[in-house]
Amino acid sequence: MAFTLAIIGRPNVGKSTLFNRLVGRRVALVDDQPGVTRDRREGQGHLFDLEFTVIDTAGLDDVNDDSLEARMRRQTELAVRDADAVIMMIDARAGVTPLDQYFGDWLRRGEVPVLLAANKAEGIAGEAGRLDAYSLGLGEPIALSAEHGLGLDELYEFLNPLFPEAEEPEEEEEEFGLEEDRGPLQLAVVGRPNVGKSTLINKLLGEERLLTGPEAGITRDSISVDWDFKGRPIRLVDTAGLRRRSRVEDKVERLSIADTKRSIDYAQVVVLVLDAGLGLEKQDLTIARQVEEEGRALVIAVNKWDACEDRQGTMRAIRDRLQRSFPQTRGIPVVPISAREGRGLPRLLDAVMAAYEVWNKRLSTGLLNRWLEDVASAHPPPAPGGRRIRMKYITQARTRPPTFAISCSNPTDLPDSYLRYLENALREDFDMPGTPIRMHLKKPK
Ligand code: GDP
Ligand code: GDP
């Protein structure tokens, strides 16, 4: 799911002990692909403020014809394929064994970040084994005691930077002042039928308020629901297709453009839900374009991630398609989720809030004008017919979305490509990924 950590190592080094420690009591046995993942466990792990999926590759003592190496190899391959990070665990008291060596070699050739952990390192008995582990060529081994909870700080330090959304960069108050009290964040969830919108909303609201599934039944008649996330009030506004769920033909009804438009109109941030199995298709792009045209902040949720077989490929295809279709709006957040299992939702909401902040961003005139001087001297505007176009100054006319006015000697002569250059530079330099940006040119009075 969101972030996945795999624990790798030969039997008995303490993988399950660490797994249990990270997952706590919320252990879930995952066994939905018989024969393939039969002997692996997955659970939701926590380490301080980090939440992630943990895969434990224990259970190798199943009766099986394969050699231990072959089974471990298969396990490891599967786990590593799904993982964003790997803990390679050895038993510090036993030192490095040939089997450790074998897996060390294999992991070293991969691309996933690996943390080498010498477990059972409480007391002094493990120090020699820990030092021995340097020989695996996987960097500095940390001293871990899964049983006693030692070394978790180092595990945290390894994991924390790998999480995509670290903290927001610090902003200077007066230069990047945000507007004060803005009321609840108005959120809409849109997407084609059956991608999992109702399931997502139910999960977000934490109760079965909306009906999901194919049966007819009760729906809410009000058009907004308030709740909050991390103390931030959020208002879920009228959501396309939900209100008419009581009619069976809705399931076959094609995407209602009018409903979607209505939701977008009411919203500030729009979550476009995709089905990971279907990817980003034409209809989705149509909705995304609508969001962009209306100047709303867009976040893409790739749902049914639990059922997605080729996660990397799916993500890549979606990103590529977005990049091609929205070359101007770089950095639209794409968050994998499983609405049904409630996974990835905090990350989705974090992305929603971050998108909202960018959408609200206000840049001071002083800062903008210094910036304009820089970019214009780095790459001056053209001089059609020998007369250079002069850009006098720039201000931010509005937020939501960020809208800028540039006063310019002869606006009609400034090529679109140059405006795009300015827009891209502005987006990059002031860290405004994903949000639509508007630029207007005015003739000075
Ligand atoms: P796995 O086969 O790699 O999953 O290993 P387990 O988690 O089942 O642990 C194997 C044995 O090592 C068990 O008896 C654990 O109690 C023990 N063990 C696990 N972690 C530690 C540790 O940090 N210190 C010590 N001394 N023993 C540990
Ligand atoms: P909506 O038409 O977009 O509101 O979609 P629903 O919420 O009614 O979901 C459509 C179908 O997809 C239902 O059968 C859900 O159980 C299923 N579904 C929703 N979310 C997930 C998910 O995260 N994983 C999987 N595998 N199925 C899901």
Determine whether the shortest distance from the Cβ of 39 to ligand 1 is under 6 A: no
* Top-confidence residue, 18 or 228: 18
- Report which bound ligand comes closest to the CA of 58: 1
Q: Taking the model in full, what pTM does it have?
A: 0.56
pLDDT at 308: 93
Q: What is the pLDDT of residues 214-236, one digit of tens each?
A: 333 333 333 567 777 888 888 88
- Report which bound ligand comes closest to the CA of 60: 1
Q: Which residues are annotated as a binding site?
A: 9-16, 56-60, 119-122, 191-198, 238-242, 303-306
pLDDT at 182: 62
Q: Which pLDDT band holds residue 297 (cuts at 50, 70, 90)? A: very high
Determine whether the shortest distance from the Cβ of 75 to ligand 1 is under 6 A: no
Given a cut of 70, whether residue 317 has pLDDT beyond it is yes
How many whole angstroms from 60 Cα to the centroid of ligand 1?
15
Given a cut of 80, whether residue 26 has pLDDT beyond it is no
How many whole angstroms from 340 Cα to the centroid of ligand 2?
7
pLDDT at 339: 94
Q: Residue of the nearest CA to atom 22 in ligand 1? A: 120
How many whole angstroms from 212 Cα to the centroid of ligand 2?
8
Give the 3-state DSSP-derived string for the chain, with helices as H, strands as E and coil as C.
Answer: CCCEEEEECCCCCCHHHHHHHHHCCCEECCCCCCCCCCCCEEEEEEECCEEEEEEECCCCCCCCCCCHHHHHHHHHHHHHHHCCEEEEEEECCCCCCHHHHHHHHHHHCCCCCEEEEEECCCCCCCHHHHHHHHHHCCCCCEECECCCCECHHHHHHHHHHHCCCCCCCCCCCCCCCCCCCCCCEEEEEECCCCCCHHHHHHHHHCCCCCCCCCCCCCCCCCCEEEEEECCEEEEEECCCCCCCCCCHHHHCCCCCHHHHHHHHHHCCEEEEEEECCCCCCHHHHHHHHHHHHCCCEEEEEEECHHHCCCHHHHHHHHHHHHHHHCCCCCCCCEEECECCCCECHHHHHHHHHHHHHHHCCCCCHHHHHHHHHHHHHHCCCCCHHHCCCCEEEEEEEECCCCEEEEEECCHHHCCHHHHHHHHHHHHHHCCCCCCCCEEEEECCC
Q: What is the mean pLDDT of residues 58-86?
A: 68
Determine whether the shortest distance from the Cβ of 196 to ligand 2 is under 6 A: yes
Give percent of the chain with pLDDT exceeding 70: 80
Q: What is the mean pLDDT of residues 348-371?
A: 92
Q: What is the pLDDT of residues 231-250, one digit of tens each?
A: 888 888 755 444 444 444 44
pLDDT at 28: 38
pLDDT at 142: 93
Mean per-residue pLDDT over the chain, rounded: 80
Q: What is the mean pLDDT of residues 103-129?
A: 87
* Top-confidence residue, 350 or 239: 350
Q: What is the mean pLDDT of residues 262-279?
A: 91
Q: What is the mean pLDDT of residues 322-335?
A: 89
* Top-confidence residue, 70 or 58: 70
- Report which bound ligand comes closest to the CA of 11: 1
pLDDT at 397: 85
Q: Which pLDDT band holds residue 34 (cuts at 50, 70, 90)? A: very low
Given a cut of 70, whether residue 352 has pLDDT beyond it is yes
